[in-house]
């Protein structure tokens, strides 16, 4: 396996390329962020954009909000620094953890914002999770599409034509670089978000492998991108705050901890010092574990690479943490298997066709002998929240 000569990312990472010096494309993008972007001009661009919308609609903008670090900082920045009236839009993917819900409660009460929340049909979600795992080795299709589509529908319903996301994708991948103008439109939705499967495709794929709920296209509307003609008619702009201000996750976490009493949490497969990373979902450890099975790296590789790029960690320290935390079988896998009603070998068989060479997926037996023993404190709560392993007729 080939690795970046600067960070610890391997060649199996999606969109990653290497230059003649062996440095990966994301490391080069971060160089652009640090050395080439005129952030003062980008700040003036942001102010100019805001003045086009401020005070002209029921809300100045929509902020899609999970309660994690990025959306919490974005909402804080737009309300407290830019003095905007924001509408908060939440898509509940079905796996929200207690700490993030408490963070939401504290942040929204303190900042003051109206909230629209949507939670999709759980039986539809289960079927989508299974089919996405089977087709793409990624069970989060409903989460990706719902999070990025529902706020756009809400922009049309509420007639609010400005939507603010937080972190730009150039912090993690090379779909877009810092010199690109990344906006969340239908092109980006199809390029990054929906795994190459639109709702019509998905409907044709679904069967009764998990749940006999009769899914129709109406059930899948929350996972579709609104018609571009309708968005253009309203004049919708869907932008990333990280395009206008230099994104620095550690500094931003310090701000929201101080300003919003935002609390971090434990995530399986991630060192405790990264208590801010992906705390929203109680099967996050399973998602990261699948990435390791398919591509040979997990979330610790990602977060330590970010610290290397920002000169906060040396490579040797990162490699030690990666060896300690990436690739351990998460406790949440047992719950995940219950939700879908499958056994572990079936799970491994679904992932195996999606392994990216030269990585070789380990056997089920070897994975079962390498378990994460540091089970999150709220694990028992998750089981109480999703007692849905049985088919509807058996429940």
DSSP characters for 312-360?
SS-HHHHHHHHHHHTTPBPTHHHHHHHHHT--HHHHHHHHGGGPPTT--
d(CA 189, CA 186): 5
d(CA 371, CA 354): 22
| Tokens representing residue 114 in the block | 């109206």
- Name residues of the chain where pLDDT drops below 50: 389-395
pLDDT of residue 63: 98
Task: Give SS3 for 39.
Answer: helix
Entry pTM: 0.94
Relative to beta strand 86-91, strand 61-64 is: parallel
Whether domain 37-243 has CATH 3.40.1620: no
Q: Where are the domains of the chain?
A: 37-243, 271-386
Considering only CA atoms, give the Rg of the chain: 21
Per-residue pLDDT reduced to its tens digit, 199-243: 999 999 998 888 889 999 999 999 999 999 999 999 999 999 999
| Tokens representing residue 100 in the block | 């993030």
> What kind and span of H or E run contains 34?
helix 25-35
pLDDT of residue 153: 98
Q: How many helices (H) and strands (E) does the chain have?
A: 17, 5
> What kind and span of H or E run contains 61?
strand 61-64
Strands, sheet with 237-240, edge to edge from the N-terminal-most edge strand: 114-118, 86-91, 61-64, 162-165, 237-240
Question: Which residue, 81, 79, 72, is CA-closest to 103?
Answer: 72
In this structure, the chain runs to a length of 395
Residue 302 preceded by cis peptide, ω within 30: no
pLDDT of residue 41: 98
pLDDT of residue 387: 57
């Amino acid at each position: 396996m080939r690795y970046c000569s600067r960070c610890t990312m391997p060649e199996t990472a999606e969109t990653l390329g290497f230059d003649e010096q062996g440095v990966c494309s994301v490391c080069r993008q971060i160089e652009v962020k640090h050395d080439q972007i005129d952030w003062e001009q980008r700040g003036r661009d942001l102010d100019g954009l805001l003045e086009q919308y401020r005070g002209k609609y029921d809300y100045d903008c929509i902020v899609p909000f999970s309660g994690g670090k990025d959306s919490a900082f974005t909402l804080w920045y737009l309300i407290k620094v830019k003095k905007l009236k924001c509408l908060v839009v939440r898509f509940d993917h079905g796996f929200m953890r207690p700490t993030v819900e408490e963070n939401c409660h504290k942040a929204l009460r303190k900042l003051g914002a109206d909230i629209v929340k949507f939670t999709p049909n759980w039986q539809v979600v289960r079927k989508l999770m299974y089919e996405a795992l089977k087709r793409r080795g990624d069970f989060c299709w409903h989460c990706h599409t719902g999070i990025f589509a529902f706020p756009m529908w809400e922009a049309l319903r509420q007639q609010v034509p400005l939507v603010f996301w937080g972190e730009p994708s150039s912090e993690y991948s090379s779909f877009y670089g810092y010199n690109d103008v990344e906006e969340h439109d239908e092109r980006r939705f199809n390029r990054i978000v929906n795994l190459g499967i639109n709702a019509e495709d998905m409907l044709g794929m679904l069967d009764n492998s998990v749940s006999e709920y009769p899914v129709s296209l109406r059930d899948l509307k929350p996972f579709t991108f609104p018609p571009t003609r309708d968005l253009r008619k309203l004049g919708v702009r869907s932008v990333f705050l990280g395009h206008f201000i230099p994104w620095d996750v550690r500094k931003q976490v310090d701000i929201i901890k101080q300003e919003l009493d935002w609390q971090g949490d434990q995530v399986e497969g991630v060192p405790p010092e990264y208590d801010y990373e992906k705390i929203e979902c109680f099967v996050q450890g399973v998602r990261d574990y699948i990435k390791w099975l398919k591509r040979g790296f997990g979330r610790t590789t990602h977060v330590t690479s970010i610290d290397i790029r920002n000169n906060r960690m040396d490579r040797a320290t990162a490699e030690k943490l990666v060896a300690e935390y990436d690739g351990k079988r998460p406790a949440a896998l047992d719950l995940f298997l219950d939700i879908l009603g499958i056994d572990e070998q079936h799970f491994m068989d679904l992932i195996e066709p999606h392994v990216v060479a030269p990585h070789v997926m380990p056997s089920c037996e070897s994975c079962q002998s390498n378990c994460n023993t540091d089970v999150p404190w709220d694990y028992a709560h998750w089981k109480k929240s999703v007692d849905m392993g049985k088919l509807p007729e058996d429940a």
